[in-house]
Amino acid sequence: MKLDTRAMRHLAAEDWRVLTAVEMGSKNHEIVPTPLIEKLARLRGGVSGVHRSISALAKVGLIARVKEAKYDGYRLTYGGLDYLALHTHASRKDVYSVGNRIGVGKESDIMVVADHSGKQCVLKIHRLGRISFRTVKSNRDYLKNRNAQSWMYLSRLAAMKEYAFMNALHEEGFPVPVPLAQSRHTIVMSLVDAFPLRQISEVPDPASLYADLISLILRLASHGLIHGDYNEFNILVKEIKSTAEDGTESIVLEPVIIDFPQMVSMEHVNAEMYFDRDVNCIKRFFLRRFHFTPSQPGPFFKDAKKTVGKGGLKRLDATVEASGFTKKMLKDLEAAIKDKKTVGEGQEGANEDDEDDEDDYDKDGDEDSEEEEGEEEEGDDEDEGEGRQEALLSGGLS
Ligand code: ADP
Ligand code: MG
């Protein structure tokens, strides 16, 4: 799903009010009845103004009319939610313009954005809940409960959780992007000037990078956490030039970890499985890519478990839970992510032929003009060829 911000500058203040009204209404209504939109928007111009805005919003695909419904109504589209989030980021001065997309996963879009000072940052848009309905088909309960809000709810949860973890990890001095802002299903973070490990074909000293990556796993564990998707796509490697006293130059590699919606506590019932999977993922990659085999076995979960919170180390799993995440939220998100993993496992080639899933999800078939998904690999750099930043709003924002 492409983020096209062009229509943003043409929306009037009333249009934003109406769009916000549809968002508010969709908390309790799968399809928001038009009279409710009128009521929530409370435009000075009255009902006719609301109708004008509704047409304008529907025309650019931010809301969609649902025809087969028992009553006349609209629902918010992904594009509409994107616009609302960007509008919030813009009015808080976190984002000024949107540039190229640098990454696309099955459940996220990664865009380069700039703030008012021109500093480049990264906007991650979570897109959970509209994928992998092939596996969901076998899950009646999920299907039954599926409604217009589920993708909104799940995507928002993913962004909230990711942001909470990024904050906690950043505060604790872990090498992660700097969390800058969050709204709805999106987060803004610093742009890491580095390539994913996956794109690195050679390193001067695999053993030392391997040791760094394993010690990060252990350091996370000592704070009560498991990354849960510790792979070559989610580890960015910074190349830092350093000059020794005798003038010889060398390059030091510094890993930066990203992608946190699936992080789990060391207390999770399946913690050992997640821990081992993270460790093995790195081992497998180092063997395949760099023909490197560590001289020691492990690390092992049972040893890592003993270090949790030791010496007064802050429990970051508890910090995040204390930040307003209810058990139900974590469970909902976990179920959705597990579902995605079944399809997305291995990430490569996992996007094949999911068009039917899209159809299945979006019965109205009106908002998605996808052409790119299903062909791209997550994490691969992508150049949309435009190289420009699109300012979000021309004038001042209320
Ligand atoms: P997903 O949940 O879809 O896997 P990620 O957060 O892993 O999303 O991001 C996907 C890709 O986007 C990464 O592999 C990386 O190439 C790029 N990326 C994400 N965040 C940043 C960042 N802060 N700086 C630079 N590149 C990033
Ligand atoms: Mg990722």
| 354 is annotated as an active-site residue | no
Q: Is the CB of 196 under 6 A from ligand 1?
A: yes
ipTM confidence: 0.99
How many CB atoms neighbour CB 269 within 10 A? 8
Better-scored residue on pLDDT, 367 or 129: 129
Taken in order 286, 260, 272, 224, the sign of the CA dihedral is positive
Q: Tell me which of 229, 278, 317, 354 is the catalytic residue.
A: 229
Judged against a pLDDT cut of 60, whether residue 199 lies above it is answered with yes
Q: Cα–Cα distance between 159 and 329 in angstroms, integer? A: 12
Biggest alpha carbon–alpha carbon distance for the chain: 79
pLDDT digits (tens, 9 = 90+) for 238-249: 999 889 899 999
- 295-319 pLDDT, tens digit per residue, is 999 999 999 999 999 999 999 999 8
Predicted confidence (pLDDT) at residue 133 exceeds the cutoff of 80: no
Best residue among 124, 231, 384 to mutate for probing ligand 1's pocket (most ligand atoms within 8 Å of CB) is 124
Selected from 3.30.365.10, 1.10.510.10, 3.40.1360.10, 3.40.50.620, the CATH number assigned to the domain covering 195-344 reads 1.10.510.10
- Lowest pLDDT segment from 40-44, 159-163, 263-267, 323-327: 323-327
151 in Cβ contact with 107 (< 8 Å): no
Q: Which amino acid residue places its CA nearest to atom 12 of ligand 1?
A: 103
The pLDDT-based confidence of 393 (bands split at 50, 70, 90) is low
How far apart CA 292 and CA 152 sit, in angstroms, is 43
Q: Are 360 and 151 in contact (CB under 8 A)?
A: no
The topology (CATH level 3) of 1-76 is Arc Repressor Mutant, subunit A (1.10.10)
Mean pLDDT, the chain, rounded, equals 83
How far does the centroid of ligand 2 lie from the alpha carbon of residue 312, in Å? Answer: 31
* C-alpha distance across the termini of the chain, in Å: 28
Q: How far is the CA of 45 from the centre of ligand 1 (A)?
A: 44
- Looking at the DSSP bridge assignments, the partners of residue 179 are 189
207-222, pLDDT tens digit by residue?
999 999 999 999 999 9
Give the residue, out of 189, 191, 227, 236, with the most ligand 1 atoms within 8 A of its beta carbon, to mutate for a pocket test.
236
In this structure, which ligand is nearest to the CA of 104?
A: 1
Near ion ligand 2, which residues have CB within 5 Å? 233-234, 259
Domain ranges of the chain: 1-76, 195-344
Residue with the nearest Cα to atom 23 of ligand 1? 191
User: What distance in Å separates the CA atoms of residue 393 and residue 92, rounded to the nearest whole number?
Assistant: 13
- 243-282 pLDDT, tens digit per residue, is 989 999 988 999 999 999 999 999 999 999 999 999 999 9
Ramachandran assignment for 328, one of left (phi > 0), alpha (psi -120 to 50 degrees), beta (any other): alpha
* CA–centroid distance, residue 161 to ligand 1 (Å): 16
* 20 CA distance to ligand 2 middle (Å): 30
Tell me how far apart the alpha carbons of residues 316 and 227 are, in angstroms, rounded to a whole number.
Answer: 12
- By alpha-carbon position, which residue is closest to atom 19 of ligand 1? 110
CB of 347 closer than 6 angstroms to any ligand 1 atom: no
CA of residue 169 relative to chain centroid, distance:
17
Atom of ligand 1 nearest to the CA of 379: 14
Give the closest residue (by CA) to ligand 1 atom 3: 105
Of ligand 1's listed atoms, the one at least distance from the Cα of 194 is 25
Q: How far apart are CA 177 and CA 332, in angstroms?
A: 26
87 ligand 1 Cβ < 6 A: no
Q: Are 31 and 364 in contact (CB under 8 A)?
A: no
Average pLDDT over residues 92-115: 91
Among 283-287, 328-332, 360-364, whose mean pLDDT is lowest? Answer: 360-364
